[in-house]
Protein backbone atom coordinates (compact mmCIF):
# COMPACT_ATOMS: atom_id res chain seq x y z
CA UNK A 1 0.00 0.00 0.00
CA UNK A 2 1.33 3.46 -0.90
CA UNK A 3 1.89 5.86 2.04
CA UNK A 4 -0.67 8.65 2.36
CA UNK A 5 0.19 11.86 0.58
CA UNK A 6 1.76 14.44 2.88
CA UNK A 7 -0.22 17.55 3.56
CA UNK A 8 1.02 20.26 1.16
CA UNK A 9 0.73 22.91 3.87
CA UNK A 10 2.96 20.93 6.22
CA UNK A 11 5.54 20.47 3.47
CA UNK A 12 5.55 24.22 2.79
CA UNK A 13 5.99 25.01 6.49
CA UNK A 14 8.85 22.52 6.78
CA UNK A 15 10.55 24.04 3.75
CA UNK A 16 10.11 27.56 5.16
CA UNK A 17 11.58 26.55 8.50
CA UNK A 18 14.50 24.86 6.76
CA UNK A 19 15.12 28.03 4.73
CA UNK A 20 14.92 30.17 7.87
CA UNK A 21 17.35 27.93 9.72
CA UNK A 22 19.87 28.15 6.89
CA UNK A 23 19.58 31.93 6.59
CA UNK A 24 19.86 32.31 10.37
CA UNK A 25 23.03 30.22 10.42
CA UNK A 26 24.50 32.30 7.58
CA UNK A 27 23.70 35.55 9.39
CA UNK A 28 25.30 34.33 12.62
CA UNK A 29 28.37 33.19 10.70
CA UNK A 30 28.76 36.68 9.19
CA UNK A 31 28.26 38.39 12.56
CA UNK A 32 30.90 36.15 14.11
CA UNK A 33 33.33 36.80 11.25
CA UNK A 34 32.98 40.56 11.82
CA UNK A 35 33.37 40.15 15.63
CA UNK A 36 29.87 41.44 16.42
CA UNK A 37 29.39 38.04 18.06
CA UNK A 38 32.35 37.15 20.28
CA UNK A 39 31.03 34.55 22.70
CA UNK A 40 29.34 31.17 22.54
CA UNK A 41 26.30 32.29 24.57
CA UNK A 42 25.27 35.08 22.17
CA UNK A 43 25.99 32.81 19.21
CA UNK A 44 23.67 30.12 20.60
CA UNK A 45 20.93 32.64 21.34
CA UNK A 46 20.99 34.14 17.85
CA UNK A 47 21.03 30.67 16.27
CA UNK A 48 18.03 29.69 18.38
CA UNK A 49 15.60 32.63 18.20
CA UNK A 50 13.60 32.71 14.93
CA UNK A 51 13.77 36.39 13.92
CA UNK A 52 11.30 35.87 11.06
CA UNK A 53 8.51 35.06 13.53
CA UNK A 54 8.89 38.57 14.95
CA UNK A 55 8.66 40.20 11.51
CA UNK A 56 5.43 38.92 9.94
CA UNK A 57 4.49 40.32 6.57
CA UNK A 58 8.00 40.32 5.14
CA UNK A 59 10.03 37.64 3.44
CA UNK A 60 12.20 35.21 5.36
CA UNK A 61 15.22 36.51 3.44
CA UNK A 62 14.48 40.07 4.57
CA UNK A 63 14.16 38.92 8.19
CA UNK A 64 17.73 37.58 8.12
CA UNK A 65 19.32 40.47 6.25
CA UNK A 66 21.71 42.53 8.37
CA UNK A 67 19.56 45.67 8.27
CA UNK A 68 17.20 47.50 10.60
CA UNK A 69 13.54 47.13 9.60
CA UNK A 70 11.05 49.91 10.53
CA UNK A 71 7.77 48.47 11.79
CA UNK A 72 5.66 51.41 13.03
CA UNK A 73 5.28 55.00 11.85
CA UNK A 74 3.71 58.19 13.14
CA UNK A 75 3.12 61.15 10.82
CA UNK A 76 5.39 59.59 8.24
CA UNK A 77 8.32 58.98 10.62
CA UNK A 78 9.36 55.57 11.91
CA UNK A 79 8.92 55.25 15.69
CA UNK A 80 9.72 51.56 16.15
CA UNK A 81 11.87 49.05 14.33
CA UNK A 82 13.70 45.76 14.49
CA UNK A 83 17.30 46.78 15.13
CA UNK A 84 20.12 45.76 12.80
CA UNK A 85 21.33 42.28 13.85
CA UNK A 86 24.95 43.51 14.04
CA UNK A 87 23.96 46.12 16.61
CA UNK A 88 21.77 43.60 18.48
CA UNK A 89 24.74 41.23 18.81
CA UNK A 90 27.15 43.97 19.92
CA UNK A 91 24.79 45.16 22.67
CA UNK A 92 24.13 41.59 23.86
CA UNK A 93 27.88 41.11 24.21
CA UNK A 94 28.11 44.41 26.11
CA UNK A 95 25.39 43.23 28.52
CA UNK A 96 27.38 40.14 29.57
CA UNK A 97 24.23 38.32 30.66
CA UNK A 98 24.56 35.16 32.73
CA UNK A 99 22.03 32.39 33.48
CA UNK A 100 19.75 33.29 36.38
CA UNK A 101 20.04 37.08 35.93
CA UNK A 102 17.09 39.50 35.95
CA UNK A 103 16.98 41.82 32.93
CA UNK A 104 14.90 44.91 32.19
CA UNK A 105 14.52 46.10 28.59
CA UNK A 106 13.27 49.59 27.68
CA UNK A 107 11.74 49.43 24.21
CA UNK A 108 10.02 46.11 23.47
CA UNK A 109 9.77 46.70 19.73
CA UNK A 110 9.03 43.45 17.92
CA UNK A 111 9.89 41.31 20.96
CA UNK A 112 12.88 39.72 19.21
CA UNK A 113 15.50 41.21 21.51
CA UNK A 114 13.53 40.16 24.60
CA UNK A 115 13.53 36.59 23.28
CA UNK A 116 17.31 36.74 22.93
CA UNK A 117 17.58 38.06 26.49
CA UNK A 118 15.41 35.16 27.67
CA UNK A 119 17.74 32.66 26.00
CA UNK A 120 20.74 34.24 27.69
CA UNK A 121 19.31 34.39 31.23
CA UNK A 122 17.87 30.85 30.90
CA UNK A 123 14.60 29.73 32.56
CA UNK A 124 16.14 30.45 35.98
CA UNK A 125 16.36 34.16 35.14
CA UNK A 126 13.69 36.68 34.20
CA UNK A 127 13.10 39.27 31.47
CA UNK A 128 10.79 42.28 31.72
CA UNK A 129 10.32 44.43 28.62
CA UNK A 130 8.45 47.73 28.33
CA UNK A 131 7.02 49.77 25.50
CA UNK A 132 5.22 53.09 25.77
CA UNK A 133 2.89 52.16 22.90
CA UNK A 134 0.20 49.66 24.01
CA UNK A 135 -0.22 48.37 20.44
CA UNK A 136 3.49 47.64 20.07
CA UNK A 137 3.58 46.01 23.52
CA UNK A 138 0.62 43.76 22.67
CA UNK A 139 2.17 42.75 19.35
CA UNK A 140 5.47 41.94 21.07
CA UNK A 141 3.62 39.84 23.68
CA UNK A 142 1.74 37.89 21.00
CA UNK A 143 4.89 37.17 19.00
CA UNK A 144 6.83 36.11 22.08
CA UNK A 145 4.07 33.67 23.00
CA UNK A 146 3.91 32.37 19.43
CA UNK A 147 7.67 31.76 19.46
CA UNK A 148 7.57 29.97 22.81
CA UNK A 149 8.76 32.80 25.09
CA UNK A 150 5.64 33.26 27.17
CA UNK A 151 7.74 33.64 30.32
CA UNK A 152 8.90 37.09 29.13
CA UNK A 153 6.94 39.79 30.98
CA UNK A 154 5.67 42.50 28.58
CA UNK A 155 4.32 45.77 29.98
CA UNK A 156 2.79 48.81 28.26
CA UNK A 157 4.43 51.61 30.23
CA UNK A 158 6.68 54.66 29.96
CA UNK A 159 10.20 53.26 30.02
CA UNK A 160 11.43 56.30 31.97
CA UNK A 161 9.84 54.81 35.10
CA UNK A 162 11.31 51.35 34.65
CA UNK A 163 9.35 48.49 36.21
CA UNK A 164 9.71 48.90 39.99
CA UNK A 165 7.27 46.09 40.85
CA UNK A 166 9.72 43.50 39.54
CA UNK A 167 13.00 45.15 40.56
CA UNK A 168 15.87 44.83 41.27
CA UNK A 169 17.59 43.99 38.00
CA UNK A 170 21.09 42.76 37.26
CA UNK A 171 21.00 44.34 33.81
CA UNK A 172 19.06 47.24 32.26
CA UNK A 173 19.19 47.73 28.50
CA UNK A 174 17.66 50.39 26.25
CA UNK A 175 16.91 49.69 22.60
CA UNK A 176 16.07 53.37 22.05
CA UNK A 177 18.38 56.38 22.04
CA UNK A 178 18.57 58.57 25.16
CA UNK A 179 20.26 61.87 26.01
CA UNK A 180 20.16 61.30 29.76
CA UNK A 181 19.84 58.55 32.37
CA UNK A 182 16.54 58.21 34.19
CA UNK A 183 17.05 57.94 37.98
CA UNK A 184 14.51 55.09 38.01
CA UNK A 185 16.79 52.86 35.95
CA UNK A 186 19.62 53.28 38.42
CA UNK A 187 17.41 52.87 41.49
CA UNK A 188 16.21 49.54 40.07
CA UNK A 189 19.70 48.35 39.06
CA UNK A 190 21.75 46.37 41.57
CA UNK A 191 25.12 47.73 42.62
CA UNK A 192 27.80 46.48 40.22
CA UNK A 193 25.03 45.87 37.66
CA UNK A 194 25.30 47.02 34.05
CA UNK A 195 23.28 49.63 32.18
CA UNK A 196 23.62 49.44 28.37
CA UNK A 197 22.08 52.26 26.35
CA UNK A 198 22.46 54.21 23.12
CA UNK A 199 23.59 57.50 24.71
CA UNK A 200 23.80 60.80 22.89
CA UNK A 201 27.03 62.56 23.81
CA UNK A 202 26.81 65.91 22.06
CA UNK A 203 26.81 65.10 18.35
CA UNK A 204 27.88 61.51 18.94
CA UNK A 205 25.72 58.54 19.78
CA UNK A 206 27.30 55.46 21.29
CA UNK A 207 26.10 52.24 22.78
CA UNK A 208 27.64 52.57 26.23
CA UNK A 209 27.89 49.81 28.82
CA UNK A 210 28.15 51.40 32.28
CA UNK A 211 28.71 49.74 35.62
CA UNK A 212 26.90 51.07 38.69
CA UNK A 213 29.09 52.10 41.60
CA UNK A 214 28.31 53.72 44.95
CA UNK A 215 25.97 56.73 45.17
CA UNK A 216 24.56 56.10 41.70
CA UNK A 217 27.82 56.87 39.86
CA UNK A 218 28.33 54.92 36.63
CA UNK A 219 31.56 54.26 34.72
CA UNK A 220 31.78 52.98 31.17
CA UNK A 221 33.31 49.61 30.42
CA UNK A 222 32.76 49.70 26.64
CA UNK A 223 31.54 52.02 23.89
CA UNK A 224 30.69 51.48 20.23
CA UNK A 225 29.15 53.81 17.63
CA UNK A 226 25.44 53.34 16.97
CA UNK A 227 22.25 55.03 15.82
CA UNK A 228 18.81 54.43 17.33
CA UNK A 229 15.32 55.88 17.33
CA UNK A 230 14.74 58.19 20.25
CA UNK A 231 13.20 57.33 23.59
CA UNK A 232 9.60 58.55 23.81
CA UNK A 233 7.74 59.64 26.91
CA UNK A 234 8.69 61.66 29.99
CA UNK A 235 12.45 61.42 29.36
CA UNK A 236 12.34 62.04 25.62
CA UNK A 237 14.78 64.63 24.23
CA UNK A 238 14.24 66.99 21.29
CA UNK A 239 15.16 65.42 17.96
CA UNK A 240 17.21 68.50 16.99
CA UNK A 241 16.56 67.78 13.32
CA UNK A 242 14.92 70.24 10.92
CA UNK A 243 14.16 70.22 7.20
CA UNK A 244 15.53 73.24 5.37
CA UNK A 245 13.75 75.02 2.54
CA UNK A 246 16.24 73.74 -0.02
CA UNK A 247 15.60 70.08 0.79
CA UNK A 248 18.51 69.46 3.14
CA UNK A 249 17.98 67.89 6.55
CA UNK A 250 19.95 69.58 9.34
CA UNK A 251 20.87 67.90 12.64
CA UNK A 252 22.61 69.59 15.57
CA UNK A 253 22.14 70.92 19.07
CA UNK A 254 21.03 74.30 17.66
CA UNK A 255 19.32 73.04 14.49
CA UNK A 256 16.05 74.92 15.01
CA UNK A 257 17.84 78.17 15.91
CA UNK A 258 20.37 78.25 13.08
CA UNK A 259 18.36 76.43 10.41
CA UNK A 260 17.26 79.54 8.43
CA UNK A 261 20.80 80.97 8.42
CA UNK A 262 22.31 77.63 7.36
CA UNK A 263 19.80 77.41 4.51
CA UNK A 264 20.80 80.93 3.38
CA UNK A 265 24.51 80.07 3.51
CA UNK A 266 23.97 76.93 1.44
CA UNK A 267 22.59 79.08 -1.37
CA UNK A 268 26.01 80.76 -1.71
CA UNK A 269 28.85 79.54 -3.91
CA UNK A 270 31.37 77.95 -1.51
CA UNK A 271 35.10 78.44 -1.34
CA UNK A 272 36.78 75.06 -1.77
CA UNK A 273 40.07 73.58 -0.71
CA UNK A 274 41.55 70.12 -0.39
CA UNK A 275 41.41 68.46 3.00
CA UNK A 276 42.75 65.15 4.21
CA UNK A 277 40.16 62.39 3.97
CA UNK A 278 38.18 62.68 7.23
CA UNK A 279 38.26 59.92 9.82
CA UNK A 280 34.83 58.45 10.66
CA UNK A 281 35.49 59.42 14.28
CA UNK A 282 36.08 63.11 13.59
CA UNK A 283 32.37 64.07 13.50
CA UNK A 284 31.82 62.21 16.78
CA UNK A 285 34.62 64.19 18.40
CA UNK A 286 33.49 67.52 16.92
CA UNK A 287 29.99 67.01 18.24
CA UNK A 288 31.12 66.47 21.83
CA UNK A 289 31.81 70.05 22.83
CA UNK A 290 30.62 72.18 19.92
CA UNK A 291 27.09 73.56 19.96
CA UNK A 292 27.78 74.69 16.39
CA UNK A 293 28.33 71.15 15.13
CA UNK A 294 26.02 70.32 12.22
CA UNK A 295 25.26 67.32 10.05
CA UNK A 296 23.51 67.82 6.71
CA UNK A 297 22.09 65.21 4.37
CA UNK A 298 19.51 64.62 1.69
CA UNK A 299 17.24 61.59 1.76
CA UNK A 300 17.91 59.06 -1.00
CA UNK A 301 14.48 57.42 -1.01
CA UNK A 302 16.28 54.09 -0.71
CA UNK A 303 16.79 52.68 2.79
CA UNK A 304 19.72 50.55 1.58
CA UNK A 305 21.56 53.50 0.04
CA UNK A 306 23.70 55.71 2.26
CA UNK A 307 22.40 59.32 2.40
CA UNK A 308 24.54 62.00 0.78
CA UNK A 309 25.87 63.82 3.86
CA UNK A 310 28.29 66.46 5.10
CA UNK A 311 29.35 67.48 8.59
CA UNK A 312 31.13 70.47 10.06
CA UNK A 313 30.73 73.63 12.13
CA UNK A 314 28.53 76.71 12.06
CA UNK A 315 29.96 79.86 13.68
CA UNK A 316 29.46 83.61 13.75
CA UNK A 317 32.29 86.14 13.66
CA UNK A 318 33.08 89.76 12.79
CA UNK A 319 32.60 88.95 9.10
CA UNK A 320 29.20 87.36 9.68
CA UNK A 321 27.76 83.83 9.90
CA UNK A 322 29.77 81.03 8.39
CA UNK A 323 29.65 77.33 7.66
CA UNK A 324 32.56 74.91 7.12
CA UNK A 325 31.58 71.48 5.83
CA UNK A 326 33.48 68.26 5.16
CA UNK A 327 32.15 65.44 3.04
CA UNK A 328 31.92 62.02 4.68
CA UNK A 329 34.22 60.55 2.02
CA UNK A 330 35.68 63.14 -0.38
CA UNK A 331 38.83 65.07 0.73
CA UNK A 332 37.24 68.48 0.25
CA UNK A 333 36.36 71.34 2.61
CA UNK A 334 33.52 73.68 1.62
CA UNK A 335 33.41 77.14 3.25
CA UNK A 336 30.29 79.31 3.11
CA UNK A 337 30.05 82.92 4.30
CA UNK A 338 32.63 84.29 6.74
CA UNK A 339 35.78 82.73 8.14
CA UNK A 340 34.85 81.94 11.77
CA UNK A 341 33.69 78.37 11.10
CA UNK A 342 36.78 77.58 9.03
CA UNK A 343 39.09 78.82 11.81
CA UNK A 344 37.12 76.95 14.48
CA UNK A 345 37.27 73.71 12.50
CA UNK A 346 41.04 74.08 12.00
CA UNK A 347 41.52 74.59 15.75
CA UNK A 348 39.36 71.60 16.69
CA UNK A 349 41.11 69.28 14.26
CA UNK A 350 44.49 70.40 15.65
CA UNK A 351 43.34 69.51 19.17
CA UNK A 352 42.01 66.15 17.98
CA UNK A 353 45.27 65.44 16.15
CA UNK A 354 47.22 66.21 19.34
CA UNK A 355 45.20 63.48 21.03
CA UNK A 356 46.40 60.93 18.44
CA UNK A 357 43.04 60.76 16.63
CA UNK A 358 41.19 58.90 19.41
CA UNK A 359 38.46 56.53 18.25
CA UNK A 360 35.17 56.48 20.11
CA UNK A 361 35.96 53.05 21.57
CA UNK A 362 38.81 54.61 23.57
CA UNK A 363 36.60 57.18 25.28
CA UNK A 364 35.80 56.73 28.96
CA UNK A 365 32.51 58.08 30.27
CA UNK A 366 31.71 58.69 33.94
CA UNK A 367 28.14 59.65 34.85
CA UNK A 368 27.39 61.48 38.12
CA UNK A 369 23.92 62.18 39.54
CA UNK A 370 23.29 65.90 39.04
CA UNK A 371 24.39 67.75 42.18
CA UNK A 372 26.83 65.03 43.24
CA UNK A 373 29.43 65.62 40.56
CA UNK A 374 32.96 66.62 41.62
CA UNK A 375 34.41 69.99 40.55
CA UNK A 376 35.25 69.93 36.87
CA UNK A 377 38.98 69.19 36.65
CA UNK A 378 41.29 70.94 34.24
CA UNK A 379 42.60 67.44 33.59
CA UNK A 380 41.87 64.58 33.05
CA UNK A 381 38.22 65.18 32.07
CA UNK A 382 38.15 66.20 28.43
CA UNK A 383 34.56 67.32 28.16
CA UNK A 384 31.73 67.75 30.64
CA UNK A 385 28.16 67.40 29.35
CA UNK A 386 25.33 68.62 31.57
CA UNK A 387 21.95 66.91 31.40
CA UNK A 388 18.83 67.14 33.53
CA UNK A 389 19.57 64.13 35.78
CA UNK A 390 23.21 63.26 35.13
CA UNK A 391 26.50 64.98 34.40
CA UNK A 392 28.77 63.13 31.96
CA UNK A 393 32.57 63.48 32.02
CA UNK A 394 34.27 62.18 28.87
CA UNK A 395 37.98 61.33 28.92
CA UNK A 396 40.29 59.35 26.73
CA UNK A 397 41.66 55.97 27.78
CA UNK A 398 45.31 57.05 27.60
CA UNK A 399 44.66 59.88 30.04
CA UNK A 400 45.37 62.69 27.60
CA UNK A 401 43.30 65.79 28.14
CA UNK A 402 42.29 68.60 25.86
CA UNK A 403 44.74 71.53 26.04
Contact yes or no for 255/292 (Cβ under 8 A): no
The alpha helices in 190-290, defined as continuous H runs, are 255-266, 282-288
Q: How far from each other are the two terminal CA atoms of the chain, in whole angstroms?
A: 88
Task: Report the distance separating Cα 340 and Cα 324, nearest Å.
Answer: 9
Task: Report the distance separating Cα 171 and Cα 105, nearest Å.
Answer: 9
Q: What share of the chain is helix, strand, coil (3-state, %, to 5)?
A: 30, 30, 35
List the catalytic residues.
Answer: 80
Which neighbouring-strand residues pair with 323? 314, 336
Task: Report the distance separating Cα 256 and Cα 240, nearest Å.
Answer: 7
Q: Count other C-beta atoms under 10 Å from residue 234's C-beta.
A: 12
Using alpha carbons, select from 208, 224, 197 the residue that is nearest to residue 104.
197
| Residue 216 DSSP symbol | G
Task: Report the distance separating Cα 201 and Cα 237, nearest Å.
Answer: 12
* Bridge pairing between strands 249-251 and 241-243: antiparallel
Contact yes or no for 109/72 (Cβ under 8 A): no
Q: Count other C-beta atoms under 10 Å from residue 261's C-beta.
A: 16
Residues 6+ positions from 345 with CB-CB distance below 8 Å: 286, 312, 313, 324, 326, 333
Burial 324-344 (b: 16+ CB within 10 A, else e): bbbbbeeebbbbbbbbbbbeb
Residues 6+ positions from 349 with CB-CB distance below 8 Å: 282
Q: Count other C-beta atoms under 10 Å from residue 188's C-beta.
A: 22
Amino acid sequence: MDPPAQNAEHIEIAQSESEAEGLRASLVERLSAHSAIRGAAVERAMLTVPRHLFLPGGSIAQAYADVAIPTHWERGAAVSSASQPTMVAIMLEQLDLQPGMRALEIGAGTGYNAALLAELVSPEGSVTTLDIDPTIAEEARARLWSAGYERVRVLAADGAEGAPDFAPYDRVVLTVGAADISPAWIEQLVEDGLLVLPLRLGGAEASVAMRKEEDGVLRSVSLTPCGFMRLRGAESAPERVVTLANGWRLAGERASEIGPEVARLLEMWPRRRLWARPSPFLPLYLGLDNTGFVYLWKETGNERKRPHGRFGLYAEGPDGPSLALLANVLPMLLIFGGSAADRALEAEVARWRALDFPSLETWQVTAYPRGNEPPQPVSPANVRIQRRHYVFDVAFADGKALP
